[in-house]
Structure formats: C-alpha cells, structure tokens
A and B are shown apart, each in its own frame.
Chain A
C-alpha cells in the first residue's frame, strides 16, 4: 500500500517536472520579445543588452530555465510585467478564492450526485428516477457559461437574492459554484445510478437481504460501498474538469480567482503571471489527482493489497 502511494508520488513529481518544462517552453515559444517589451523605443543597443543581462535574457534557454526553476522552487514567482507587483502577493488570495469555489462545487458534485444517483437506483422507474435522469442529461447539455448567465439573470437580476459577481462572502460563491458543479453532479448522479443498479442486481446483495439485514445496511454497507469505485473514477475525472471549468466560470462571474487571473494576463500578455497561474493550477490539479488515487485505496481493496 505504501509502495503504491510512493509510486504515485514519484509519478506526480515527474509529471510536475514535465509541466514546468512545457510551461516554460510554451511561454518562450510565444511571439513577442520580452527585451523589446521592457525597453523604450529610443534606447541604444547597449542599453538593450543591459536589460537583457539584468533579467538573464542573454543566457541560453536551458540556463534561463534552471534559474527560473530555482527561484520558483524557492517560492518566488517573480513580478508582474505590467504592475511590477510581486506575483506571490497577487496569486495568494486568488488561489484561495479558486480553492473555495472548486471545493464548494466539488461538495455539490459529490453530495447531489451520489444522493440523487442512489435514490434513482433504489426507486428505478419511479417519477423521481425519470425526472432526475432527464434533468441530469439537460444539466450537462447546458454550457457552464450559459448556465452562469441564466443564474445571474434569474437570481441576481430578477429575484435579487444573490450578487451577480465578485467575491468576498459565501453569498458570492453560491451562483458560481452551481454554474460550475451542476454538470459534473449530473454525470456523477448518472454514474452512481448505473453502478448501484449493477451492484444491487448481484448475488451478494441477495444474500445480504436473505440473511435479514436491514435495508439501509444492505444499501450502504453492501451496495454503495461496492458501487463507489466507478463513482470515484468519475469524481476524479470531473474534479479536473471543475478546475479547468473554473477558468470560464470565474470569467462569467468576474470572480477573482486563478482562472480569471489567467485569462486577464493572457489578454495583457503578462508572461510571468501567465507562467505562475499555469504552474500553480497544474500543481493543484496533480495534487488533487493524487488525493483521488489515495481515496481509491480505501474504496478498492484490490489496489490496497494488489
């Protein structure tokens, strides 16, 4: 078991290393010369060279990469080209904002998805089953940005219950979290339902019922526990989708998170900020994937002892 975790952690480190190379390369392949951006039109060739030397831009790419990696690993993400603000400062609150948003969307995903899926499976063919599964397919057919607009129009403009955008309180989180999490909750509900149906039709459930276990014990100890493996897979996949989807949701709600920062810095071509935003997001993504894998261990003894 600890072997498995160690193997996964070393894989994650390898992935993270590749991520740093890819992100560094992408930014340096991008059109636009940073020296030209830093110097004013009237500058002499010598001054330009001075600027290049000051920022280490005269060095070969691999030297620049190693230097950049070094400072990054020490926790210094550099400064914004535009505002000269330290990126650590800029990103720390926004990182927290995104984490809050993704966490709430994930809770929505897991709670709504699993509860709906279990009820639909145990009452197969009922009105609840039919209507929730119809709602599910509708939910993931609505693009998250359109859902965001509708939520704003209904709950912020029409009913005036919740703010249309921004951050600062729990109220600000509700609409973006729904816009972000509804489609994945629908996927989780569908997966839970079909996994539960498969498990409930199996012999050991019949045995559990035959030996007189209470229905709730049959459902949760014998049913849901065994149905959790495919459900965990889908939750793992959708968590990545949530993190990626946050880019769009944050833009719709002008929610100051990592995605919002990324899109803004892309349009401003503020490369150090783009780099930092990408780096932090992909590390977060890899960490979440690792946590999901560890959760597997508890759900699937075949991996634990395999």
Chain B
C-alpha cells in the first residue's frame, strides 16, 4: 500500500534516477506545474513589469477617456484616460505583494506563538490560545476596516490590519502540529541524545510542519488577496493615484454602465490570480497531505 502512493513512488524515483526531485513531482502532477509556472509569471510581471513597460500608469489622456481595448491600449483606458494594462501591471505588486506580506506576518507571529504554545504546554499555552480565540471572535474584514479607520490608510497599516487576522489561524495550526510531533519517537530520541529545546524545535519539529503549512499559506494567500482588494475597493487600502486592483474596480463603478470594460479588466485579473492560487492550494493539498488524498 505504501509503495502505491504517489509520494512513495516519487521518493523511490528520487533514489533510483538522477532526475531532480522537483522535476519528478512536476511531471507526475502536470497541473501543479502549469499553475506554478503561471503564478511565477504573475510574480515576475509584478516585479519587473513596471521597468519593462514604457507606458505610464498615471498619465491621463483626456481625449481618449474610457477608450475600449485597441492596439494602442490593449485593455483600453479608464475613466481618466489612463492605460488599464499599465495600471494592472503596476498594481500587481501591491495586490500580490501586500497579500503575501499579510500572510507572512500571520505566519511569523502566529507560527511563533503556536510553536511555543504547543511545545511548552504550560500556562502560556492557555493564555496564548485564549487570546487567539478572542482574535478569531471578530470577523476578518470588519476588524481590518476598524483598524485602518483608526491607524489611517497606507501599505504598512493594511498589512498589519489584515495580517492580524491570520495570526490565530497559523497559531492554531502550528500548535496542533507541534503537539502531535512532540509525541513522535524521533523527538524523544533527539531529547535522549541531549538536543536542546531550540534545536529540537528548529531541526525536528519545524521542518515537519512545512508541508501542511504550505497548503495553508496558499489558501490564506487567496483569502488575503480578496480582503486587501476589498479594502482597496472600500477606499481603505492603498491610496490613489497608486494603481491597486481593488481601488481600480471601485473607481470603475462610476462609469460601469457606459464603459463596462473599465471594471471588467481589473476584475478578471483578480479572478485569474485567485483561481491560480486556489488551484495551487488544491494541488499542494493533494500532493502533501496524504490523509486527504485518500478521499479525493
């Protein structure tokens, strides 16, 4: 039974052939490969697009306001005559970057708290987990809206306000994983040979949380992108004239009856990105979580 599982097969392949491990995995899961490549492309566009593109995202050509897609402006122009493609390319780094940063914030803070909480299991554990319950008790975007209303808008504040929502999610997950792993034989063995707590956590527990965490990170990224764009949509995210996809959609509402493409283009960009992220999450879960694989 063990040898029939895809991972066991890939491990066998890894030891018998000189092909690199990742190549074996990608050839076994072609969709995962396509999703990874496309998502990488998105990130590359976000990183280098603005330097390669010589169209300004803020230049207003008032004579061509709300122009439909044409060879001159591939995705058309918005309500102020700005090139939509250029704005999407410039905005990608905010949409993807801020989303990623919020998840990383949640992962670092929550992961640390969960690890300490699960490993030491003292009264810190109770206190930390009760605080996490309290954080979970309030709906994500609502608390983010309030925090931004108080802290003010801006990239750092958005990351903080949305990132806090992911802290309890990662704290609970890492705690549960740590609790389970602490009872494993290899941790007992490490302790028996005199490994320090820090070494056990770093070398024996953390690496084993990575597969499950990767799946959660991917799904959380999808959620983060929706919340960040939602804040932008409400006017509480990155401020204009900086192009951000959610804010672009919000502005487009004013002209959507006469020029629907102004709303549809940034919306489709978001859908495409989120679809990739969610499909990647599904793929990673199938690949990395053997418990879920048995019931596809």
Contact = CB atoms under 8 A, between A and B. Distances in A.
A281 interface: yes
A239 to B, nearest CB: 10
A142 B277 CA distance: 12
A286 B152 CA distance: 27
Specify the main secondary structure of chain A where it touches its partner.
Answer: helix
A245 B141 CA distance: 7
B6 interface: no
A157 B275 CA distance: 27
Interface in A250-301: 251-252, 262-263, 266-267, 274, 278, 281-282, 285-286, 289
Contact of B263 (A149, A274, A285): A149
B226 A143 contact: yes
B274 interface: yes
A263 B278 CA distance: 29
A178 interface: no
Contacts of A281: 139, 142
Contact of A137 (B236, B252, B275): B275
Interface size grouping (class) on chain B: 35 or more
A15 B137 contact: yes
A287 B226 CA distance: 26
B279 A149 contact: no
Residue from A19, A141, A201, A266 having most chain B Cβ neighbours under 10 A: A141
B134 interface: yes
Contact of A248 (B149, B230, B295): B230
B138 interface: yes
Interface stretch (B10-18, B82-90, B253-261): B253-261
A145 B230 contact: yes
A177 interface: no
A220 interface: no
B295 A141 contact: no
A148 B193 CA distance: 60
Nearest to A124: B296
B274 to A, nearest CB: 4
Given A241-B139, A247-B142, A274-B149, A153 B256 contact: yes
A26 interface: yes
Interface in B222-245: 222, 226, 229-230, 233-236
Contacts of A138: 271, 275
B295 A197 contact: yes
Contacts of B253: 149, 252
Nearest to B296: A197
B267 A248 contact: no
Residue from A142, A143, A267, A278 having most chain B Cβ neighbours under 10 A: A143
Given A137-B282, A145-B249, A247-B145, A29 B271 contact: no
B132 to A, nearest CB: 13
A49 interface: no
A194 interface: yes
Contacts of A244: 139-142
B139 A240 contact: yes
Interface of B: 134, 137-142, 145-147, 149-150, 152, 222, 226, 229-230, 233-236, 246, 249-250, 252-253, 256-257, 260, 263-264, 267, 270-271, 274-275, 277-279, 282, 292, 295-296
15 contacts: A18-B134, A23-B146, A31-B152, A138-B271, A141-B271, A141-B274, A141-B275, A143-B233, A143-B270, A146-B267, A243-B142, A244-B141, A247-B234, A248-B233, A281-B142
